[in-house]
Structure 1
Amino acid sequence: MGGASLSAVVLTSPANAQVPALAGFAQAVAEGAAAEPALAAFYTEHAYAPIWTDAAAAPRRAAFFAALDQAGAHGLPVGRYQAEALRAKFAAIESERERGLLEAEVSRTYLAWARDISSGALEPKKIDAGIVREITRPDPAVLLAGLIAAPSPEHFLRDLAPKTPQYANLMRVRLELADQIAQGGWGEKVPAKRLGPGEGGPAVVALRDRLMKMGYLGRSVSASYDAALQKAVQSYQFDLGMKADGVAGEATLSEINVAPEERLKSVLVAMERARWLNGRDLGKRHIWVNITDFSARIIDDGKMSFETVTVVGQNRADRRTPEFSDEMEMMVINPSWSVPRSITVKEYLPMMQRNPGAAGHIQLVDSRGRTVSRGSVDFSAYNARNFPFAMRQPPSQGNALGLVKFLFPNPYNIYLHDTPSKSLFQREVRDFSHGCIRVGRPFDLAYALLARQADDPQGYFQKILKTGAETTVRLKEPVPVHLVYFTAWPNARGRIEYRHDVYGRDAALYGALAKAGVELAPLTN
């Protein structure tokens, strides 16, 4: 039966051979599925009925192979699924045992692909300890049963990928970038450190040509830095979160000269990150904190209703802001600051050992919560392990948390808060905190959140603020908060905004994707 079609193998077996053939098939399926308990249980519960390798499964099989052919377009590790090898095995079935083993292998491949496309191909916690996001992985039994029951296997398989417009835009740009790379990229880099309106020459022509290929400028043969080119530069700067003055300074030209291959890496990682969020309901109203963008936004029904700049954790191992999702439950007006133990013993204890009066605005507190006089403590007698006191800063204008903090209780002690250090919000790169997110417009954020439960949110907030007393206000409707890290993300117009990889996380993730088999090369199918 070498090279026989699948239908011939199944349908032309003599009647008196059906029982032993089925037994051989079932035993092979059991062997092939044994390594995956969920898959083994599924086949046992369904009496080893084939879902891929009989004639009736042809439409489902065709739909799955068509989906595998598009794995590269999703930025998935194509080699992990061995589609061509599976096709070859179907064409070479010579026994019921081979059919049974192939049945199990296709199911294993399907579960791997379905898991990857619906919730990501990587285990992020193994790559970066700061990615503590809980990822909802699909239930294998649900994946198998859903596919079998689906009236249209094509639609079922297609719907496993994220269905957000952002993911669709990332996928579109992934294909566009691959095509542009195949055609030679964006041309020569701009050989200048600064270009501005009124200038001309080869560098301006290079800038014009590069922006045209990037899609920021229509067809032009102008050799001067005219109004159209200035507008294109402004648009580019705006998309990259830079000062949009229309002057191509050193920072702007540095970004413009980034190769499309590097942008494609950012898009591939962004698609993977979007898949991690696929199993989670973001919430009709939610707070979206993009660490790389130094911003926090309230999203209502898919549209931004509030935005503020932020300061995030420093790029140090113990201070980087982690990535996770939670629910904001309350705000504290006039908060006190309970100094984290790590800051107490690593920063303040050495200061007080040199000068007991150092950081005198912060109280020393014993295990019973009582304030302790600095003069009664011999700081030289303690070290980071045995220091018995905590530290607390009472509510004040100069409190490290400012005048309001926003809590979504989590194991990482991360929250949003005000700050007295307002000048840092003027910086373009804003990674200065110990890990929490400082908010540029904290009062306005409070008003926006309280608007759902107070007729006069500003008046309500200010009345509490003026008391000076630490006061907790619970949100009647907790708001989901998502701390994310996207260096490439579509804006409302569908254009991708790129940001710096401030913690180097995306570089590590792309390395892991490449190791898994994700290809940067242009697509051929």
Structure 2
Amino acid sequence: MEARAMTTGSPTGFFPGLLKAGMLWVLAFLLTVLGMSTPANAQFLSAGIKSEIAKSINAASSESLRKRLKDIDAHYAKLAYKPIWIEGNKPTKKAEAMVEALNLAYEDGLHPEDYDALALFQKLGTTNAAGLADLEIHLTTAAVSYAQHMNAGRLNPASVNKEIVIYPSAISADAVLTNLRKTTNLKAYLRLLAPHTQRYERLRQALAIYRRIEANGGFSTVASGPVLKPGASDPRIPAIRKRMVEAGTLKNAGGGLNYDNALAQAVIRFQENMGLEAVGTIGKQTIAAMNTPVSERIRTMEINMERNRWLQNEFAPYHIFANLADQVVKVVRNDDTIHAEV
């Protein structure tokens, strides 16, 4: 009777109580294990971030990258290695915005592949501890690189030409990360890093136009032939009109075979833009400029945007700008060229 009472008695009896306690312990254990593995908890994520930085420093392929990573490590140390881009065991909206900015780096003549932009986009869906730590550090490294490139250029001027005596000073990694953490408008902050000049903005707008032209098959071409002066007639005039519309110096390509004043003014503006003698006469140099592939024009714009980043904040409102590559000297006032000599 006593034995039966022990097995069929009240839930507060010995065995039911033991079973209940055991079930609670198993449940607690499972929750702990699950909490440690998927999704990652803050403690394990911080440890993973610290480890990932150390591995990246050891594997750095250049001294400049190693220095950047050490600066990043110093910033994270102040945060006790808490994440900048991860919250609630997933990438934040700011992380997504940063990855988008990296994928649009070409808009400023930079290259998304330099920042592993596509790979970072593909990592945004990760939720495990190791994957989140990897995303955190690689996104931070890419963000700092991008910010410093926007601010002072991607290349060392001396590595391009030893005769270029320019020493651009980029914003520090610590300042970049502090600002990225604090900003509520990431896109606006990143734009502040670029040169604040009309010259740079014009290049940026032109680059976007030329990329669209490239995507649509490139520029039309103009056949070679005798020198053309305003007032002349020539079967190539319609092709020249079309080319000037593409260059943005003429509004429409309508008209006959006569080299009229409207076209002459468009050609003069084109010649000015190309650093040619701007008198409206169309000779071999002007035809060659018209027939330069759009890919080459894009490359030239990218180079000029890089030069502008090197020289950010170096120009007074009134200055003389010598472009040795194009062999032209310009007198500039408030970003407008008021005189040019070839």
Would you say same fold, with TM above 0.5? yes
Deviations 1:53-109 (A, max 9, x none): 114962321221221232111111111222232232231332x23322321121111
SS of 2:193's equivalent? coil
1:30 to 50, 62, 78: 50
Aligned position for 1:263: 297
Q: CA deviation at 1:205?
A: 2.5
Q: Distance in 1 between matches of 2:268 and 2:174?
A: 51
Structure 1 residue runs without a partner (length 5+): 1-11, 310-427, 429-525
Q: CA deviation at 1:224?
A: 2.1
Q: CA deviation at 1:43?
A: 0.9
Q: Distance in 2 between matches of 1:254 and 1:163?
A: 33
The answer to whether the 8 A contact 2:230-2:264 is kept is yes
Q: CA deviation at 1:48?
A: 1.0
2:147 to 110, 114, 127: 114
The answer to whether the 8 A contact 1:190-1:207 is kept is no
Q: Distance in 1 between matches of 2:124 and 2:161?
A: 40
Question: Residue type matched to 1:190 in 2?
Answer: A
Q: CA deviation at 1:42?
A: 0.9
Aligned position for 2:162: 129
Structure 2 residue runs without a partner (length 5+): 1-30, 58-68
Aligned position for 1:518: none
Deviations 1:389-417 (A, max 9, x none): xxxxxxxxxxxxxxxxxxxxxxxxxxxxx
Q: Distance in 1 between matches of 2:290 and 2:232?
A: 18
Q: Which moved more, 1:119-128 or 1:238-247?
A: 238-247
Q: CA deviation at 1:38?
A: 0.7
Q: Distance in 1 between matches of 2:184 and 2:32?
A: 29
Q: Distance in 1 between matches of 2:32 and 2:124?
A: 17
The alignment status of 1:228 with 2:262, answered yes or no, reads yes
Q: CA deviation at 1:16?
A: 7.7
Q: CA deviation at 1:126?
A: 1.7
Q: Distance in 1 between matches of 2:298 and 2:35?
A: 58
CA-based RMSD of the aligned residues comes to 2.8
Q: Distance in 1 between matches of 2:149 and 2:178?
A: 18
Give the direction of change, closer, same or farther, for the CA distance of 1:155–1:135 in structure 2 (3 Å limit): same
Aligned position for 2:212: 179
Q: CA deviation at 1:226?
A: 2.5
Aligned position for 1:215: 248
Q: Which moved more, 1:150-159 or 1:55-64?
A: 55-64
Q: TM-score of the superposition, structure 1-length normalised?
A: 0.51
2:285 to 234, 251, 256: 251
The answer to whether the 8 A contact 1:115-1:138 is kept is yes
The answer to whether the 8 A contact 1:32-1:101 is kept is yes
Give the direction of change, closer, same or farther, for the CA distance of 1:88–1:251 in structure 2 (3 Å limit): closer
The answer to whether the 8 A contact 1:195-1:204 is kept is no
SS of 2:92's equivalent? helix
1:276 to 285, 305, 310: 310
Deviations 1:345-380 (A, max 9, x none): xxxxxxxxxxxxxxxxxxxxxxxxxxxxxxxxxxxx
Aligned position for 1:410: none
Aligned position for 2:189: 156
Q: CA deviation at 1:14?
A: 7.8
Decide which structure has the larger Cα Rg and report it. 2
Q: CA deviation at 1:198?
A: 4.2
Q: Distance in 1 between matches of 2:82 and 2:114?
A: 26
Q: Distance in 2 between matches of 1:90 and 1:231?
A: 52
Q: CA deviation at 1:201?
A: 3.9
SS of 1:297's equivalent? strand
SS of 1:91's equivalent? coil
Aligned position for 2:112: 78
The answer to whether the 8 A contact 1:193-1:253 is kept is no
Give the direction of change, closer, same or farther, for the CA distance of 1:69–1:235 in structure 2 (3 Å limit): same
Question: Residue type matched to 1:33 in 2?
Answer: I
Deviations 1:259-310 (A, max 9, x none): 22222211111111111123x35335544444345425364x5566x8575x
Question: Residue type matched to 2:49 in 1?
Answer: V
Aligned position for 2:93: 59
Q: CA deviation at 1:228?
A: 2.5
2:221 to 188, 194, 216: 188
Spell out the pairing of 1:335-484 with structure 2 (5 A cutoff).
428=342
The alignment status of 1:90 with 2:124, answered yes or no, reads yes
SS of 2:331's equivalent? strand
Question: Residue type matched to 2:271 in 1?
Answer: Q
Say which structure is richer in strand.
Answer: 1
The answer to whether the 8 A contact 1:74-1:271 is kept is yes
Aligned position for 2:22: none
Q: Percent identity over the alignment? A: 25
Say which structure is richer in helix.
Answer: 2
Q: CA deviation at 1:210?
A: 1.6
Give the direction of change, closer, same or farther, for the CA distance of 1:245–1:178 in structure 2 (3 Å limit): same
Q: CA deviation at 1:49?
A: 1.2
Structure number with greater CO (CA < 8 Å, separation at least 6) is 1
The answer to whether the 8 A contact 1:28-1:98 is kept is no
Q: TM-score of the superposition, structure 2-length normalised?
A: 0.76
Large movers: runs of 4+ above 6 Å: 12-16
SS of 1:32's equivalent? helix
Aligned position for 2:80: 47
The answer to whether the 8 A contact 2:85-2:136 is kept is yes
Q: CA deviation at 1:135?
A: 1.2
Q: Distance in 1 between matches of 2:309 and 2:140?
A: 21
